[in-house]
Amino acid sequence: MKIFTKTVIVILVVVGLFALTPTGQYIFAAGNDLYRKLEVFQEMIQLINTQYVEPVDWDSTMEGAFKGLMDALDPHSIFIPPDRVDNINESFKGNFEGIGIEFDILNDYITVISPIVGSPSDGLLNPGDQLIKIDGESAYKITRDEVFKKLRGPKGSKVGLSVARAGLDELLEITIIRDKIPIYSVLAKFLMDDDSTGYLLMNRFSATTSNEFITAVEELKTQGMKQLLVDIRYNSGGYLDEVVKIIDDFLPGGEKIVYTRGRLKNANEDYFSTGKAEFEKLPVMIMINRASASASEILSGSLQDLDRALIVGETSFGKGLVQRQYPMRDGSAIRVTVAKYFTPSGRLIQRPYKNGDAEAYYEEIYDHDFDKVDSTKLASRPIYHTKTGRVVYGGGGITPDVHLAPPGVLTKSTANIRRHSSRPFFTYASEYAVKHPELKRDWEHFYDNFKYSEDELNQFYSIIDSLGIKIDRLELTEDENIIQNYLKSELAAQLWGRNEQYEVRTELDDQIQEAMQHWTEAREIGHAGGYL
C-alpha cells in the first residue's frame, strides 16, 4: 500500500554509446540484437563523419537522433534539449524568481497583460503598461527570450523600468525588487449565480496544486458554497502525488484511488485514501473535454469509479502512461514511459496508439467524430462497473456520465480577431479601462448590467479594419454576444483581475450552463455511494 510516499530514484545515466553501467549491463544481457544495432549505429556515425560532403553539425544531428529514438517508443516518451529543461521543470515547480508579470510583445514593446497577484509587480504595474526601457537600456523589438533574461533574477535583486502608461505624457520610472513568484494552477474560484455552486478552474497539477485547491474550496465554503463544480477542461495533467492528495480530500480511508503497472517492480504502485476526507459530504461535479489528460483523467476517472462525482463534458484525451524524467550529463533530459495508469475499476486510461506515429495520435482528438456518442461506438468499448454497479467504459480516456456538446464554432471574422498578434480585445479593453475608472466602484453592477454601446462596438470594428484584419460585418453581427463577452471579460481583467475575467466568461459558456442542470444526478450518485 502506498499513501503519498515519495519514491526517490537515483539512476546513473550514461550518454556514451558503449559505456557499461549496471543499467547498460542489463540492456545487453537482454540479448545481442541491441548490441549489434549499436555497433551499426556507431559505424554509421564514423562513415558520416569521414565521408559526408560537408562538415556535420553533430549537435543538431544527434539531437535529431535522440528525438527519433524517443518518438519510436510512444507518443509521450520524449527527449528534452538542454535549453528547454529549466523551463519545463519550472512550469510544474510552482514558482520562479522575477518581477511577476504575464506579458506579450505588442507594437514591438513588452506589454503587461496582468501583474501576478502577490508579486512585486502587483500594485506597481497595470495591465496595458509598456516597458520602454529595462535598467536604462531600450526594450524596443526585444525577443521573448531576452525578456526572461532581463526581468528574471535572484530574489532581492533590483530592476529599473521605464514605463509608458495610457493617460500619462511622461514615462514612469519604477524600481522593482525581484522575489519568488508563484505559478498558480487554480486560475479562478467564485460562486455561480445561484449563490450555492462553487466554481473552481485548474489548468495543471503542479507542486502547489493540492494546497491551492484546499485553500480555494475552504474559501468558497465560507462564502456559502453547497456544491462544487471543478473545471479541468484543457488541463493537460502534471504530478501524480498532487492529484492523489486532491482525490483523498473527498474520500473516506482505505479506498484505492489509482494504481500503476509497469515492466519493472519499482514502477508498480497502489495509491489509497488516508481518511483525510476534508470535503467528504460535498456534492461534486467534474468537467472534462478532449484536452483533459493524464492527472485530469485520474481525478475524473477515480471519482467516477468510486461514485463520488458526476463527470460531465466530452471524452477525455486518453493519456495514461507514467513518465519518469532522467537527467543526461549534457544538461538534457529524457522522459521515459515506465508504467500505465489504471482507475480503481481497472480501466486503462491510455488511448490506443501506434508506435512512431505521434502525428496521427494527436490528430485523432481533433476528428469531429472523436467524441461522438452513439450506441454502436459505446458497444465496441470494454465495460467496467463503478463501486455501486454503474456502467462505465474503457478503451482509453474517461467517458463522461453526461455528454455535453462541444462549444460552437466561431465565425471566421471573430476567429481572425482572436488570433491576431496585436490582441485587439485586450488592447481595446485596456484603453477603455483607463477612460472609465468609475466602473471599478461596483463589481456586482458591472457583472449584471455592463454592455458596450453600439457606437463603442463600431469603434472597435473600425480599429479592427485599421489593423488589416479580414472581417465581415454580417459575421460580427452574428457573433455580437460573443464579442461583447470577450470585450467585457477583458475589461473585468483590467479592472479587477483574472478571477472576475473568468466569471464573466462563464456567462456564455454553454457547457457550464448545461452542466448546472445536472446537480440532481450528482447528488444521487453521491447518496448512492454513501458519501452525502
pLDDT value at residue 368 = 54
Query: 211-246, pLDDT tens digit by residue?
Result: 999 999 999 999 999 999 999 999 999 999 999 999
Number of domains the chain contains: 3
pLDDT beyond 70 at 523 = yes
Which among 77, 121, 273, 294 is annotated as catalytic?
294
Query: Is residue 516 in some structural domain?
Result: no
Q: By the 8 A CB rule, do 243 and 129 touch? A: no
Q: Which of 28-37, 61-70, 325-334, 498-507 is predicted least confidently? A: 28-37
- Is the dihedral angle over the CA atoms 350, 351, 355, 357 positive or is it negative? negative
Residues 283 and 376 in one domain: yes
Q: What integer is the mean pLDDT of 498-511?
A: 96
Closest CA to 315 of 251, 385, 227, 374: 374
Contact assessment for residue 160 and residue 124, using Cβ atoms and an 8 Å cutoff: no
Higher local confidence (pLDDT), 200 or 352 = 200
The answer to whether residues 392 and 357 belong to one domain is yes
- Beta strands per DSSP E along 123-224: 130-134, 137-138, 158-164, 172-177, 179-182, 186-191, 197-202
Active-site residue 319, yes or no?
A: yes
In terms of domains, do 433 and 379 share one?
A: no
Confidence of residue 373 (pLDDT cuts 50, 70, 90): low
Residue pair 270/2 in contact (Cβ under 8 Å)? The answer is: yes
Do 443 and 500 have their domain in common? yes
* Angle of CA points 209, 212, 217, to nearest 5°: 125
Pairing type for strands 402-403 and 310-313 reads parallel
**pLDDT for residue 8:** 31
Active site (annotated) includes residue 371? no
Measure the CA–CA gap between 11 and 223, rounded to whole angstroms: 48
* Segment 285-299, tens digit of pLDDT: 999 999 999 999 999
**C-alpha to C-alpha distance for 286 and 199, rounded to whole angstroms:** 10
Q: Are residues 347 and 422 in the same domain?
A: no
Cα–chain center distance at 169: 39
Which helix (H) or strand (E) segment holds residue 36: the answer is helix 32-51
Q: What is the pLDDT of residues 94-139, one digit of tens each?
A: 778 999 999 999 999 999 999 988 899 998 999 999 999 999 999 9
Q: For residue 345, give the CATH number of its domain.
A: 3.90.226.10
The answer to the question of residue 161 being in a domain is yes
CB atoms within 10 A of CB 529: 18
> Do 202 and 313 lie in a common domain?
yes
**Residue 109 Rama label (left phi>0; alpha psi -120 to 50; beta):** beta
Residues 420 and 396 grouped into a single domain: no
Higher pLDDT, 297 or 36: 297
Between 407 and 259, residue with greater pLDDT? 259
pLDDT class of 433 with cuts at 50, 70, 90: very high
3-state SS assignment for residue 6: coil
> Cβ distance 514 to 404 under 8 Å?
yes
What's the CA dihedral at 389, 514, 488, 450 to 10 degrees? Answer: -130
Give the active site residue among 74, 305, 307, 401.
Answer: 305
Which residues, other chains included, contact 144 with Cβ-Cβ below 8 Å and sequence gap of 6+?
105
Query: pLDDT tens digits, residue range 474-503?
Result: 999 999 999 999 999 999 999 999 999 999
pLDDT(13) > 60: no
Look up cell 488589416; give the residue: 468
Higher pLDDT, 408 or 348: 348
Same domain, 113 and 146: yes
Beta-carbon neighbour count of residue 283 at 10 Å? Answer: 24
Q: Residue 137 is placed in which grid cell?
A: 537600456
Which pLDDT belongs to residue 93?
75
What would the grid cell of residue 129 be? 503598461
Same domain flag for 450 and 495:
yes
Calpha distance 532→252 (Å, rounded): 12
Rounding to the nearest 10 degrees, give the CA dihedral for residues 247, 253, 256, 257: 10
Distance in angstroms (rounded) separating the CA atoms of residues 471 and 211: 45
Q: What whole-number distance in Å separates Cα of residue 283 and Cα of residue 527?
A: 9
Q: Residue 262 in 3-state DSSP?
A: strand
Same domain, 350 and 460: no
Per-residue pLDDT, 328: 95
pLDDT band at 165 (very low <50, low <70, confident <90, very high): very high
Q: Considering the chain, what percentage of its residues have pLDDT values greater than 90?
A: 80
Query: What pLDDT does residue 359 have?
Result: 77
Any catalytic annotation for residue 226? no
In terms of residue numbers, what domain contains 484?
412-508
Mean pLDDT taken over the chain: 90
**In the beta sheet, which residues pair with residue 227?**
197
The answer on pLDDT for 29 being more than 70 is no
pLDDT at 375: 53
User: Of the residues 319, 401, 413, 479, which is catalytic?
Assistant: 319
Kindly report, residue by residue over 377-423, the tens digit of the pLDDT. 777 889 999 999 999 999 999 999 999 998 888 999 999 999 999 99
Selection from 157, 162, 121, 158 nearest residue 138 by Cα: 162
Does residue 487 contact residue 501 with C-beta atoms inside 8 Å? no
| Residue 262 located in a structural domain | yes
Q: 317 lies in a domain?
A: yes
